[in-house]
Amino acid sequence: MSLPAIRVCAVTKHYGALQALAGVDLEVRQGEFFGLLGPNGAGKTTLISALAGLVRPDGGTLEVMGHNVASDYRNARRALGVVPQELVFDPFFSVRELLRIQSGYFGIRGNDDWIDEILASLDLTAKANVNMRALSGGMKRRVLVAQALVHRPPVIVLDEPTAGVDVELRQGLWAFVRKLNRDGHTIVLTTHYLEEAEALCGRIAMLKAGRVVALDTTDNLLQRFATHSLRVRLAEPAAGVALGGAAGEGGWVDFAFDSYADVESLLARLREAGAGVQEMQLGEPDLERVFVEVMQRA
Amino acid sequence: MPEMRESALTGFRTLLYKEVLRFWKVSFQTVMAPVLNALLFLLIFSHVLDRHVTVYGEIAYTSFLLPGLVMMSLLQNAFANSSSSLIQSKITGNIIFVLLPPLSWGEFYAAYVIASVLRGLFVGAGVLLVGLPFVELSFAYPLWILVFALLGGAILGSLGVIAGIWADKFDQLAGFQNFLILPLTMLSGVFYSIHSLPQLWQDVSHANPFFFMIDGFRYGFFGQSDVSPWLSLAVVGVSFVLLAALTLAMLARGYKLRA
């Protein structure tokens, strides 16, 4: 079995009385597209910061490609590219200068061919010699992605990269990140857009109050937690409510069930009760429901 | 796959290059302005005092003043370089780009301090060059000049790193600069020989390490000083070692940088 891309063992972190991480255990396999989800304050950014060496945990160990982030920090940091959540930039430099400097920090000189390739992939070639201050927010966000890639890290962490980003850029960014994943990079993503996580991530960990409260493949999570739903518009909504449905506006009543096999018996009972089904919609399980349910149970 | 060249020292050299480029890109503000300030000091004081005051017996006041101004400008700008770079990076958040790469805290320290020394030397050399046409100045022991310039710049560069890391806002940094660095430099004998002071203030001056930086530096020009240059070298050398150790300990602990 190959080395995990990321290994997190019993990591704890306090900020005064606040417990940001309360014993997190996690492994991300090489080549995975992994989602790290949780409400604000769940500890996602603290965990990423600990991986990147920006935060020192109180206990536990973290490894990137087998390199301990404290004792073997040089190799751990070379293996990791981080796209930070905040839109930060150095106002003194142009895009190309910044990427050359960032390459140099990682010990790499003569990196222009790769820098040109990243700029082209992120549609930044025309802005290569423009000062960072003159770029739009979306462009700055792309430069942050470019900065995380200059040293060709096998593991890339994106901390809410699409927060406040328009649809076009978001789609372009995901196409690029998918390509990186296909090329063999391990991707770890935190996001509040659950539909993005559902579409992109093969496996997901959910954090709450510094603990992992769910960790499984996206498919398994959808199977395990989410219920299917049936929405029907009834001539007699009260009859539907009497059968356990939740009344909505305009005669609509919502039913939740675990399997499509239950639909037939439910419709039969509605018919027997004389509810009069006028319209019907089936609801697929989605990650948002899973998320809500996991957070309520945890 | 494009070819990349990796080298162990490239990270340090890049951070040093970035720090030098940062002040060089705004050299009007970081180099020219302090040179002009020092020149104004020189012109005003020389006009008022040159005919009335001599120091060490026969040295004209303006000649005495110029090395002091050179060192004062060097020290203040060395401090300003590392402190302003760090606080700006912390407040804007781009310090992350220096913290994510595999740079050691020793490389971090060396890059910020050497860049500070270089800015101090640029400004000091500028003040010296624009001042020379107005004064007669000897260069008795150039090596002493260089040693004190380098050590003084390194001390203030280290203090700048400490202040830049410690301060959470510009106001705190301004406090550090205005209530510690500025009084210590102004009361260090830049404008006077401490022998012209009452005994009490002479004794107080001896508790100020900045006095030894200026006095030792001035010795390199005139071959005369208020105290032995060896004593000054010892005080300045020990001060540098202590401050470097303190700064490195802060960086090794990740104080305010790696929470």
B27: distance to nearest CA of chain A, Å? 12
Confidence of residue B2 (pLDDT cuts 50, 70, 90): very low
Distance CA B38, CA B132 (A): 12
Q: What's residue B8's pLDDT? A: 65
DSSP bridge partners of A281: A231
Give the A window 135-174 contacts with B, CB below 8 Å.
147, 151-152
> Chain A contact for B4, CB < 8 A?
yes
Query: Is B113 in contact with B158 (CB distance < 8 Å)?
Result: yes
pLDDT tens sequence across B201-215: 778 888 889 999 999
Confidence of residue B1 (pLDDT cuts 50, 70, 90): very low
Nearest to A117 among B2, B6, B21 (CB): B2
Average pLDDT over residues A145-150: 94
Kindly report which listed range (A176-185, B58-67, B222-231) carries the lowest average pLDDT score: B58-67
A82: distance to nearest CA of chain B, Å? 8
Nearest to A90 among B97, B101, B254 (CB): B97
pLDDT tens sequence across B161-183: 999 999 999 999 999 989 999 88
Q: Which H or E run contains A83?
A: strand A80-83
Q: What's residue B51's pLDDT? A: 64
Q: What's residue B23's pLDDT? A: 94
Kindly tell me if the per-residue pLDDT of A228 is higher than 80. Answer: no
Kindly tell me if the per-residue pLDDT of B95 is higher than 90. Answer: yes
> Chain A contact for B11, CB < 8 A?
yes
Nearest to B258 among A15, A56, A90 (CB): A56
- The predicted model scores a pTM of 0.86
Confidence of residue B6 (pLDDT cuts 50, 70, 90): low
Q: What's residue B129's pLDDT? A: 95
pLDDT tens sequence across A237-253: 998 998 888 888 888 99
> Chain A contact for B58, CB < 8 A?
no
CA distances from B77 to A26, B31, B80, B113 (A): 48, 8, 5, 12
Distance CA B46, CA B65 (A): 9
pLDDT tens sequence across B231-253: 999 999 999 999 999 999 999 99
Which residue is listed with tokens 């490609």? A65
Q: What's residue B53's pLDDT? A: 63
Query: Is A25 in contact with A8 (CB distance < 8 Å)?
Result: yes
Question: Residue B128 is which amino acid?
Answer: L
Question: Residue B246 is which amino acid?
Answer: L
Kindly tell me if the per-residue pLDDT of A33 is higher than 80. Answer: yes
Secondary structure (3-state) at A62: strand
CB-side exposure of A154: number of CA atoms within 13 Å? 17
Write the ipTM. Answer: 0.86
Q: What's the distance, CA B100 to chain centroid?
A: 29
Tokens of B22: 């940062």
Q: In 3D, which of B208, B117, B211, B96 has the Cα closest to residue B161? A: B117
Average pLDDT over residues B141-162: 97
Higher pLDDT pick, B114 / A214:
B114
Query: Is B233 in contact with B243 (CB distance < 8 Å)?
Result: no
Q: In 3D, which of A197, A104, A194, A184 has the Cα closest to residue A147? A: A104
Q: With an 8 Å Cβ cutoff, are A107 and B102 in contact?
A: yes
Secondary structure (3-state) at B29: helix
Kindly tell me if the per-residue pLDDT of B195 is higher than 90. Answer: no
pLDDT tens sequence across B37-75: 888 888 887 777 666 666 666 778 888 889 999 999 999
pLDDT tens sequence across B108-141: 999 999 999 999 999 999 999 999 988 888 899 9
